[in-house]
Chain A
């Protein structure tokens, strides 16, 4: 099974900050990686697919990069609506999620 490790688990930041979340795969997954945002009591929302492709309607302050085993999600200027938990998911072999990164208000 492919394991996905996100860091950090929790991130404290302020509105306007640049935020970066890292996701590492236990083996190469090429670019088969998605990023989701989840708020309490809600289903996940797709942000990024194929490592760097922005889903339609997602603000351009979100971006993804990486390939192979190391990936990042960057929020260029954190907005109040962005405080949430973020998950990466590999879909190279079955599907595995990272453990999540909670972005909280500093």
Chain B
């Protein structure tokens, strides 16, 4: 069965970076892209961007351009999302999801807390 398993919760200081992983199993990793979506506490869903697991092409949300990098490691079927220059309003649950467009399969979420 398809599974996306994310790395554990992180606590970071303002200005630091965080890298969240998403390990895929149960399907051919390179056949689907991975999208990243975040949700601040009590708020709605925010699309962050997408990476093709086939060729590494990326498409980032404009507001995160320059601070976010999405990568994949096809040898381990793992996708990564790195966010730099963290601010308090980056505190959120970060989700990976399979697919470039809509997503049926989602990771369990990773809470990233940015606090001094």
Q: Which of A38, A43, A96: most chain B CB closer than 10 A?
A: A43
Asked whether any CB of chain B lies closer than 8 Å to the CB of A55, the reply is: yes
A53 to B51, CA, bound (A): 25
**Residues in A24-60 with C-beta less than 8 Å from chain B:** 32, 34, 36, 38, 43-44, 46, 49, 55
Choose from B44, B49, B109 the contact partner of A43 (Cβ within 8 Å).
B109
B45 in contact with A34 (CB, 8 Å):
no
Interface residues on A, range: 20 to 34
The total of chain B residues at the interface (CB under 8 A) is 22
User: Does B104 lie within 8 Å of A55, measured CB to CB?
Assistant: yes
A49–B102 touching, CB < 8 Å? yes
Q: Which residues of A contact B (CB under 8 A)?
A: 1, 32, 34, 36, 38, 43-44, 46, 49, 55, 87, 89, 91, 94-100
Give 16 A-B pairs besides A44-B37, A49-B102, A95-B35 with Cβ atoms closer than 8 angstroms: A32-B101, A34-B102, A43-B95, A44-B106, A46-B102, A89-B47, A91-B101, A94-B47, A94-B49, A94-B50, A94-B59, A95-B50, A97-B44, A97-B46, A98-B44, A100-B44
